[in-house]
A and B are shown apart, each in its own frame.
Chain A
Amino acid sequence: MDAVTQNFGSVRALDSVGLEVQKGTVHALLGENGAGKTTLMRVLYGALQPQSGKVFLDGVETTLRSPAEALRHGIGMVSQHYAIIPELTALDNLMLGAEGGAILDRKAARARAQSLADSMGFQFDWDAAAAELGPAGAQKLEILKLLWREVDVMILDEPTAMLSPEDADALYASLRGLADQGRTVIVVTHRLSEVTAHCDHVTILRQGKNVTDFPVGAKSQHETAELIVGKALSPSAARSCRPGEVLLETVRLDVRGDRGDVAVRQVDLGLRAGEVVGVAGVDGSGQRELVQALLGVRPVLSGAIRLVGSDITRSSARQRIALGLRGIPEDRHEEGVIDDHDLVTNATLGHQRLAAFRRGPVLDRAASRALAGKVATMFETKHSHLGQKMKELSGGNQQRFVNARALAHEAKVLVAFQPVRGLDIEATRRVYAALGEFADQGGAALVVSFDLDELLEFCDRIVVMHSGHLASPPTGHERDRTMIGAMMVGTA
Chain B
Amino acid sequence: MNLKLVWLIVAGAGLVWAVVASTGTPPPDALREMFSGAFGSPQGWRETLKESTPLLVLGASVFLALKAGLFNIGADGQFVVGGLAAAVVGLRVTGPGGVVLGTLAACLAGSAWALLPGWIKAYRGGHEVITTIMMNNVGRLATTALAAGVLRAPGQQNAETPLLDASTTLPNVVQDGAFRLNWAFFIGLVAVVVTALFFSRTVAGFETAATGSNSRASLFAGIDVRRTTLAAMLVSGAVAGLAGALQVFAVKHQFNADFSPGYGFDALGVALLAAGQAWFVIPSALLFGALARGTSALSIMGVPKGLNGVLLGLVVLVFAAVRYRKEAANG
Given contacts A341-B210, A349-B210, contact A336 B203 (CB under 8 A): no
The CA-CA distance from A267 to B330 in the complex, in Å, is 45
Pick the contact of A317 from B210, B216, B220 — CB < 8 Å?
A: B220
**Could you say which residues of chain A place their CB within 8 Å of the CB of B331?**
391
**Could you say which residues of chain A place their CB within 8 Å of the CB of B330?**
391
By beta carbon, the residue of chain B nearest A319 is: B222
User: Shortest Cβ distance from B290 into chain A, in angstroms?
Assistant: 31
Assess the A361–B202 pair: CB atoms within 8 A.
yes
Assess the B222–A316 pair: CB atoms within 8 A.
yes
Assess the A338–B210 pair: CB atoms within 8 A.
yes
The CA-CA distance from A439 to B279 in the complex, in Å, is 46
Assess the A338–B222 pair: CB atoms within 8 A.
no
**Could you say which residues of chain B place their CB within 8 Å of the CB of A301?**
none
Assess the B224–A297 pair: CB atoms within 8 A.
no
**Could you say which residues of chain B place their CB within 8 Å of the CB of A334?**
214, 216-217
Tally of contact residues, A, Cβ under 8 A: 31
The answer to whether the Cβ of B179 comes within 8 Å of any Cβ in the partner chain is no
Assess the B213–A338 pair: CB atoms within 8 A.
yes
User: Shortest Cβ distance from B116 into chain A, in angstroms?
Assistant: 25
Near A by CB (< 8 A), chain B positions 202-226 give 202-204, 206-207, 209-210, 213-214, 216-224
Pick the contact of A336 from B206, B209, B220 — CB < 8 Å?
A: B220
Assess the A361–B220 pair: CB atoms within 8 A.
no
Assess the B222–A317 pair: CB atoms within 8 A.
yes
Main SS class of interface, A: mixed
Assess the A362–B202 pair: CB atoms within 8 A.
yes
The answer to whether the Cβ of A149 comes within 8 Å of any Cβ in the partner chain is no
The CA-CA distance from A418 to B218 in the complex, in Å, is 20
User: Shortest Cβ distance from A418 into chain B, in angstroms?
Assistant: 14
The answer to whether the Cβ of A363 comes within 8 Å of any Cβ in the partner chain is yes
Assess the B224–A358 pair: CB atoms within 8 A.
no
Near B by CB (< 8 A), chain A positions 303-357 give 316-321, 327, 329, 334-341, 345, 348-350, 352-353
Pick the contact of B219 from A317, A353, A363 — CB < 8 Å?
A: A317
Given contacts A316-B224, A318-B222, A320-B222, contact A349 B203 (CB under 8 A): no
The answer to whether the Cβ of B4 comes within 8 Å of any Cβ in the partner chain is no
Given contacts A317-B222, A320-B222, contact A353 B203 (CB under 8 A): yes
The CA-CA distance from A329 to B216 in the complex, in Å, is 10
The answer to whether the Cβ of B201 comes within 8 Å of any Cβ in the partner chain is yes
User: Shortest Cβ distance from B97 into chain A, in angstroms?
Assistant: 29
Pick the contact of A295 from B210, B220, B223 — CB < 8 Å?
A: B220
Near A by CB (< 8 A), chain B positions 274-331 give 330-331
Pick the contact of A358 from B203, B209, B218, B222 — CB < 8 Å?
A: B203
Mark contacts of B220-249 with chain A using CB atoms, 8 A cut-off: 1 yes-contact digit, 0 otherwise: 111110000000000000000000000000
**Could you say which residues of chain B place their CB within 8 Å of the CB of A317?**
219-223
Assess the A297–B220 pair: CB atoms within 8 A.
yes
By beta carbon, the residue of chain A nearest B211 is: A338
Assess the A362–B201 pair: CB atoms within 8 A.
yes
Count chain B CB atoms within 10 A of each CB in A338, A358, A362, A363 and give the residue with the most. Answer: A338
List 26 A-B residue pairs with CB atoms under 8 Å apart, sorted by A's residue number: A296-B222, A316-B222, A317-B221, A317-B223, A318-B223, A319-B222, A327-B220, A329-B217, A334-B216, A337-B214, A337-B217, A338-B210, A338-B218, A339-B213, A341-B209, A341-B210, A341-B213, A348-B206, A349-B217, A352-B206, A352-B221, A361-B202, A361-B203, A363-B206, A365-B201, A391-B331
8 additional A-B residue pairs with CB within 8 Å, beyond A317-B222, A337-B217: A316-B224, A318-B222, A341-B213, A349-B221, A361-B202, A362-B201, A362-B203, A363-B203
Binding site for A on B (CB under 8 A): 201-204, 206-207, 209-210, 213-214, 216-224, 330-331
Q: Which 5 A-B pairs have the closest CB atoms?
A: A318-B222, A350-B221, A317-B222, A338-B214, A321-B222
